[in-house]
Amino acid sequence: MAKGKLGRTPPRKSSTPSSTLVFSLLLMLSVVVLILLALGIVSLPTSNSTSRPVHDLNNIVHSTVHRVEVSKEKGEQWVEFLSWEPRAVVYHNFLSKDECEYLIKLASPHMEKSKVIDEKTGKSKDSRVRTSSGTFLPRGRDTIIRAIEQRIADFTFLPVEHGEGLQVLHYEVGQKYEPHFDYFLEDYSTVTGGQRIATVLMYLSDVEEGGETVFPSAKGNISDVPYWNELSKCGQEGLAVKPKMGDALLFWSLKPDASLDPSSLHAGCPVIRGDKWSATKWIRVNEYHV
C-alpha cells in the first residue's frame, strides 16, 4: 500500500530588501533631526512658562476668535482693582482708539436728550439730574459691536445674551449725572431680563477736567489714588475714576448674595473743560429680551 506524502512547511524567508531600506531611512532621518536640534536650526514646541504679572489681562480674560483687529495705539492692557465696596475694577485700554472713534461716529447722528427711569411707572422721563445726550446701539448691530460685546462677556464672565444694547453718551461742559443706582427700585423694568447685576462703563474720550465717575458711598481710603490732586471738587467727594479713552470701568450693583449694594451709588461729575464720550453696557441677572 502506498504511503501518503507528508506536507512540508515552506522555509522562512529572511527580511526583504525593502524593509531593510525603510529601517535605514528612518535611522538616517532620526540622526538628521538630532543634528538640527543640536545646532539650534529647529526646535520643539514648548509652553511658555514665563510667569505673568498678577494684573496681566490674560489671567482674567480668555482669548476669543471674535476679537477685531485693533490699532497699535491701544497700549498695554491690564486690570486695576479699585474697591470691594462696591466691587469695582478698571480694565485699561479695553477699547482701541479706532473702536472709540467708531462708536462716536456711529452714535453722533442719533443723539437725543438723556432720560431717567420713573421709579413709579418704570417708563423713561426727562429729569434735571441727567443733562447729557445719548442713544442706544442695538445688541449685535455689526461685526465691531459684536466683538466688543463678546469682549465684555469675557471680562465679566457673564453671557452676551444678558447684556442690554450699548448706550453711547455725550457730556458737554457743565453736563452731569447726579448720584444714582443702576439697579431698579421698581418691578416694571425687570420683566425683560431681571435686575441689573453689573455695569461696564467705557470711556470713549479723554476729558481735560472734570467728568469723573465717582462713588460717594464707597468704603476705604478714597484719596489713595495717584491722580487725587487732578480730580475736580466733585471727584474728591468719593472714590473717583478719571475718564481715559479706551479704559473700561466694571462695577457690580448687586452683592455676591444677590442683594442690592447701596455702595454702588455713583455719579457722573460735571465736565469742566473739554467734553466726554462714553458707552455703557448694563448686564442683567437673566437673559435680556430686546
pLDDT band at 219 (very low <50, low <70, confident <90, very high): very high
161-165, 187-191, 274-278: least confident range: 187-191
The x, y and z cell numbers of residue 243, run together, are: 475718564
- Nearest residue to 180 via CA among 138, 132, 139, 136: 132
pTM: 0.74
pLDDT band at 136 (very low <50, low <70, confident <90, very high): very high
pLDDT of the residue at 67:
41
Burial 236-265 (b: 16+ CB within 10 A, else e): bbbbbbbbebbbbbbbbbbeeeeeebebbb
How far is the CA of 144 from the CAs of 78, 106, 166, 255, in angstroms? 21, 11, 12, 31
pLDDT of the residue at 4:
47
pLDDT of the residue at 72:
40
Task: Tell which wins on pLDDT, 71 or 219.
Answer: 219
Task: Tell which wins on pLDDT, 183 or 72.
Answer: 183
34-48, 102-116, 198-212: least confident range: 34-48
pLDDT band at 121 (very low <50, low <70, confident <90, very high): low
Task: Tell which wins on pLDDT, 247 or 15.
Answer: 247
Mean of pLDDT over the chain = 83
pLDDT band at 5 (very low <50, low <70, confident <90, very high): very low
Mean pLDDT of the region 127-150:
92
Exposed / middle / buried, residue 16 (Cβ in 10 Å: 0-12, 13-18, 19+): exposed
For the cut 80, the answer to whether the pLDDT of residue 128 exceeds it is no
Summarised one tens digit per residue, pLDDT across range 7-46 is: 444 555 444 566 677 677 777 777 666 666 666 555 554 4
Mean pLDDT of the region 159-168:
97
Instruction: In whole angstroms, give the CA distance from residue 44 to residue 4.
Output: 66
For the cut 70, the answer to whether the pLDDT of residue 137 exceeds it is yes
Q: Provide the percentage of residues in the chain whose pLDDT is more than 70.
A: 74
Instruction: In whole angstroms, give the CA distance from residue 115 to residue 128.
Output: 9
- What SS3 string covers the chain? CCCCCCCCCCCCCCCCHHHHHHHHHHHHHHHHHHHHHHHCCCCCCCCCCCCCCCCEHHHCCCCCCCCCCCCHHHCCCEEEEEEECCEEEEEECCCCHHHHHHHHHHHHHHCEECCEECCCCCCEECCCCECCEEEEECCCCCHHHHHHHHHHHHHHCCCHHHECCEEEEEECECCCEEEECCCCCCCHHHHHCCCEEEEEEEECCCCCEECCEEECCCCCCCCCCCCHHHCCCCHHHCEEECCCCCCEEEEECECCCCCECHHHCEEECCEEECCEEEEEEEEECCCCCC
Task: Tell which wins on pLDDT, 39 or 144.
Answer: 144
Mean pLDDT of the region 199-213:
98
pLDDT band at 130 (very low <50, low <70, confident <90, very high): confident
pLDDT of the residue at 44:
54
